[in-house]
Amino acid sequence: MSRHEKLLSNVRNNPSDVRYEDLENLCTAYFGPARQRGGSHAVFRTPWAGDPRVTIQADGNGRAKTYQVRQVLAAIDRLLREEVSGERKGEDKGKEKGEGKGERRKNEKEGKNRR
């Protein structure tokens, strides 16, 4: 079991008692370096469309906030599920090969891409 897998297991077992530094290391391992780091917050990118970020911050005692720990766990679970199922990160499922966003909308209006 790798260091990050062991840390992930510990976080899953007790999400209310996670050091901010440990959560930050876990996020860096799964999502890459923080895209923004300011004051008490760190923002990490996730590979899917929509709300592609995970924000974490420390409480006053050097611990991560519990609700943010749960959000990170949900994001990691989704990432792992997508890797197992073979979906590509950030893939647009409704997009046909060579079809741009504007073309796709036009085709949807004309009824060509009914789902």
Query: Of 62, 78, 77, 80, which Cα lies nearest the Cα of 23?
Result: 62
The segments of the chain whose pLDDT lies below 50 read: 89-101, 114-115
List, for residues 58-81, the tens digit of each pLDDT value. Answer: 888 889 999 999 999 999 999 989
The confidence score (pLDDT) of residue 39 equals 74
Say if pTM beats, i.e. exceeds, 0.95: no
Mean pLDDT of the chain: 79
